[in-house]
Amino acid sequence: MVGEMGRPGRGERGGRGNGGNPRDVSGRGTQGGGETERGLGPGSPLLGERPPRVLDALRAQLRLRHRSLSTERSYVGWVRHFIHFHGKRHPAEMGRVEVEAFLTHLAMSRNVSAGTQNQALNALLFFYRFVIGRDLGELAEVVRARRPVRIPVVLSVEEAERVIAELSGDVRTVALLLWGGGLRLLEALRMRVQDVDFDRRELRIRDGKGRRDRLTVLPDRAVDVLVEKIAEVRALHAQDLEEGYGEVELPGALARKYPRAGFELGWQWVFPAERLSGCPRTGRVGRHHLFETTVQRHVRDAGVRAGLSKRVTPHVFRHSFATALIESGYDIRTVQELLGHQSVQTTMIYTHVLNRGGRGVLSPADRPLRWDGPGARGLVGRREIDPR
């Protein structure tokens, strides 16, 4: 079963295969679960004397281009699912027709969302271009899932404060930054100590969506709690150093350029995890940042305790931040820069708050009356106001 999060289920074996090649190239082979020993397609940039296994080659290409761990896991999952769907045929033997059939299957049989289908498409395009060494070109025969146009869920100022009041500890501080600065959840969790500028009341967002940096506002009410939090991080970091740890993950190739930078206080997470853990890529033991699922669960539960019928998620605070700024009269370009949107069209979705009552239309049921004729008998709330 393919989930909406873009990762196939554990038991997936592919419903409609082509029979074909019995070789297991999916990474779940019969010889100890290893991936295929077969070479890649002609023209592959990774083709050598001993060809790499296809999913290992995919991971290598993703890391070469600095894709995130979540993207790596998602792309590998989609390619594995694609191979299983076609009876474990080698990807080099397949092409555009098989990709179109797989994507159509997702939309028609699995009823996935447009975002999930596009994620699968991007994974396969990347795989064929950089691993197999072949561009798939136009995929005109794909049945595309329809992307609905949705208005974001927005909390009023009073509702947002009620939810935050139900939170505590680091989760409360994170929620306050999302609500007061318009951050995405991972942007807040990946924040480093040096990214907090108390003098200028600014937060520096590094490597945000689209690999763009930006600055946003640091709420005054978050200053004191962040000062205390960074003091806790300083003490925790000193303890980790004494125990032989204390090195944190660095972006890009900084770890090679500055080997000791990972031990500096400025690069430590503002919201570190409680326990040490191993890096899934390198195996190095260190302290990761707070996990996003922890914040998501607490925020959802806080919305229920606050008595809200709306579906409250961490991202709702970002929507509410943008909406509150527009309601306060800030221009759309300012909001765009604070949110980090590449196009102002993306920010325009929040202008729906300017339309009171649908699209600013006065409902006929609320239209004021100024006459007392027979038809007005029994009407409630008649007012002496000119309806014009």
Determine how many CB atoms are found less than 10 A away from the CB of residue 273. Answer: 16
Of 137, 114, 222, give the one whose Cα is nearest residue 175: 222
341 part of the active site: yes
Do residues 40 and 46 touch, judged by C-beta distance below 8 A? Answer: yes
For 121-150, letters b (16+ CB in 10 Å) and e give bebbebbbebbbbbebeebeebeebeeeee
Q: On the CB side of 195, how many CA atoms lie within 13 Å of its CA?
A: 22
237 part of the active site: no
How far, in Å, CA of 318 to CA of 312, rounded?
A: 11
Which of the residues 81, 88, 89, 350 is marked catalytic? 350
What is the token pair recorded at 149? 């146009």
209 part of the active site: yes
Beta-sheet strands, E only, within 100-139: none
> Which helix or strand (DSSP H or E) is residue 278 part of?
strand 277-278
How far, in Å, CA of 239 to CA of 261, rounded?
A: 17
Do residues 344 and 337 touch, judged by C-beta distance below 8 A? Answer: no
7 part of the active site: no
How far, in Å, CA of 88 to CA of 204, rounded?
A: 46
Of 142, 122, 182, give the one whose Cα is nearest residue 347: 182
Do residues 20 and 86 touch, judged by C-beta distance below 8 A? Answer: yes
Q: φ, ψ for residue 322 (rounded to 5)?
A: -65, -40
DSSP string, 321-363: HHHHHHHTT--HHHHHHHHT-SSHHHHGGGGGGGSSHHHHPPP
Residue 370, SS3? coil
Which of the residues 84, 86, 318, 319 is marked catalytic? 318
Which of the residues 23, 129, 310, 315 is marked catalytic? 315
Which of the residues 204, 209, 300, 310 is marked catalytic? 209
Which of the residues 81, 184, 192, 289 is marked catalytic? 184
Which residues participate in catalysis according to the annotation?
184, 209, 315, 318, 341, 350
